[in-house]
Amino acid sequence: MSDIARPELWREGQEKIEWASRFMPITRTLGEELRASGSVRGKRIGLVLVLEPKTANLALALARAGADVAVMCDASSARDDTAAALDHAGIAVFAREDASAETDHRFALDLLDLRPDILVDDGSSVTRLAHSERPGVLETMIGATEETTSGLRPLRVMERTGDLRIPVLAANDARCKTLFDNGYGTGQSTLFTMLDVLGAPLGGRSVVVAGFGYVGRGVARHALALGARVTIAEVDPVKALEARFASYSVEPLARAARHADLLISATGIAHTIDVEHLLALPDGAAVAVSGGVDQEIAIDAVIAAGARRRTVAPDLEQFELPNGRSILVLDDGGCINCTVGEGNPIEIMDLSFGVQTAAIDFLAREGSTLAHAVHLLPASVDDRVARVKLDHFGSRVDDASEAQLRFLSEGQPAAAGQPAAAGHPAAAGQPAAEAQP
């Protein structure tokens, strides 16, 4: 059933998968719990994720738990050896490094035609494709989980317009995903991959980051640690103020671009770096995307405005701009850590896939009771994942004392030795008003 390019690579892929597994205790532990519970036994689960060894371990954990697993990935984020190893293990794989855009589209439809009960999506492209081209699949689908901020955005629009026909769990918004994957994982892996492509140090250079969400914070933090002068461009005044308090300069993007040696978009919004920003860059500046969506750097628009492009190194193009300057664009504005690098660190993705495993378990158990909307995961899911990781570190979370629990349940206690007066908020289990200064 698979459609892969090089089945003979399965041993190479298997070795990488086994190596990654050594550093994925959460995925392994929660997968074993899933197997013991039987909640996904016989369920068809479709994974639409970056296809590399870490993702393969999630697929195998679900298969060991009794699920019928299929995997799809577009060409830019696929690894032929990983695909071959999963195929050899009996998992249906629709992914080839040499696939065209048309083939990738067909692969997505092939996955949907297997009528998955649960869909694990990255960017929500296949979830949306099911609504537009395979609506019949939604009639039996329990629900989907979504891995990214940019993927949740259109799904929440569909919810508001009444077009969302399945429940979706916002795996991305779980604390054990966003706090670590976005900030530490994507922030680190994208910046380091950019520096590998450029072959240049950051010390003393000007780095401009568009967006100060979790990914932007991670990029900025790592750039600062490597000696860069960091400027943040942000449309949200509160986030801009947060960046200023974190010691970064804050400027509008059009102004900040004028002094950028490296301009990075971290918003997941198309045309964040638009033609005016590209034209403002100094000669020789580099531009890249951390995470990202198509045309986050407005490449098509600047070509239409007269820019000319040529490849100067692997994953690096020089753009001759109509104003006479030249700039460097990394990886065609793609998700550089996945398409050029090895993705996020294994230990970070273990947290994210632990969240996904718990989300799949929750959907399998409770999905039929959920409204057709985007749902946050219960806090208990985050707690479950975090405890497994802490156990692996040999760390223990503290326990609240009985006095603390009593305070939280009863409200502000009266002064020592004095009973709460009748009608006092504490007597009714309500917190008293804060004293005024």
pLDDT in tens, 177-187: 999 999 899 99
- pLDDT beyond 90 at 431: no
- pLDDT beyond 90 at 239: yes
Q: Are 281 and 221 contained in the same domain?
A: yes
427 band by pLDDT with thresholds 50, 70 and 90: very low
> What residues make up the domain containing 368?
7-177+345-391
Instruction: Find the mean pLDDT for residues 100-107.
Output: 97
pLDDT over 70 percentage in the chain: 94
pTM above the 0.85 mark?
yes
- pLDDT beyond 50 at 420: no
Question: Other C-beta atoms within 10 Å of 57: how many?
Answer: 24
- pLDDT beyond 50 at 360: yes
Asked whether residue 84 is assigned to any structural domain, the reply reads yes
Instruction: Find the mean pLDDT for residues 53-73.
Output: 98
Q: Are 167 and 225 contained in the same domain?
A: no
Specify the pLDDT at position 413: 54
Q: Are 365 and 386 contained in the same domain?
A: yes
Q: Are 188 and 319 contained in the same domain?
A: yes
Q: Where residue 313 sits, what CATH number does that domain have?
A: 3.40.50.720
Q: Where residue 112 sits, what CATH number does that domain have?
A: 3.40.50.1480
Instruction: Find the mean pLDDT for residues 143-164.
Output: 96
Instruction: Find the mean pLDDT for residues 348-374.
Output: 96
Contacts of 242 (CB under 8 A, 6+ apart): 212
What mean pLDDT value characterizes the chain?
Answer: 92
Contacts of 93 (CB under 8 A, 6+ apart): 2, 3, 4, 51, 70, 71, 72, 83, 86, 87
Specify the pLDDT at position 434: 31
- CA–CA gap between residue 347 and residue 391 (Å, rounded): 14
Specify the pLDDT at position 412: 63
Instruction: Find the mean pLDDT for residues 259-268.
Output: 97
Bridge partners (DSSP) listed for residue 288: 264
Q: Are 50 and 20 contained in the same domain?
A: yes
- pLDDT beyond 50 at 424: no
- pLDDT beyond 90 at 281: yes
Query: How many structural domains compose the chain?
Result: 2
Q: Are 157 and 196 contained in the same domain?
A: no
Q: Are 128 and 240 contained in the same domain?
A: no
Instruction: Find the mean pLDDT for residues 419-426.
Output: 38
pLDDT over 90 percentage in the chain: 88
Q: Are 271 and 382 contained in the same domain?
A: no
- CA–CA gap between residue 141 and residue 59 (Å, rounded): 19
